[in-house]
Amino acid sequence: MTFSDFLHNQYLWVPLSIWLLIQIWKFVFDIIKNKKINLRRLVGAGGMPSSHSAVVTSLATLIGFYEGVDSPIFALSLIFALVVMYDASGVRRAAGKQAKILNQILNNKNMAGVTVQEKLIELLGHTPFEVFIGAVLGVCYTLFIVI
């Protein structure tokens, strides 16, 4: 296997390219919304749409298209996608809500004597709608590329 083979592996570049496009979209949207540049939006989690969902559904779509939806590797990729999307809209979203509440508590003036080293990251997960839109974009983008 050569580096050229690696670069031409669409199981890598198609999902990674949808991730990059979505992250750039969120970065630009954040600039427009907040009127300042936040480079963390290029790699950060959360927001509309879910790039995590787009990546895993893109990969599952490629595998289903080329290997068949009856293949073991497709089953693995689909289950992997469902776990990632569940985590994005469930566990990570809950952690983000908890971080927001903790930040509010720590910003309270009655918390004298409590030192905070850094603010907790609040934008960790996604709403179910953000996950759904990310998944739809992942499937549609991938089918557009391969068909």
Q: What is the pLDDT of residue 87?
A: 84
pTM for the predicted model, two decimal places: 0.76
Contact 92, 111 (CB under 8 A): no
- Please state the domain extents for the chain: 3-80+130-146
User: In angstroms, how far is CA 86 from the centroid of its own chain?
Assistant: 12
CA 135, 136, 137, 141: dihedral to nearest 10 degrees? 110
* pLDDT 10s digits, 62-75: 999 999 999 999 99
- pLDDT for the residue numbered 81: 96
Residue 4 is predicted with a pLDDT of 85
Q: Give 10-residue mean pLDDT values along the chain (147 residues).
A: 84 95 90 86 79 96 97 97 86 63 66 58 70 95 95
The whole-number pLDDT of residue 6 equals: 80
Report the pLDDT value the prediction gives residue 118, as an integer from 0 to 100: 59
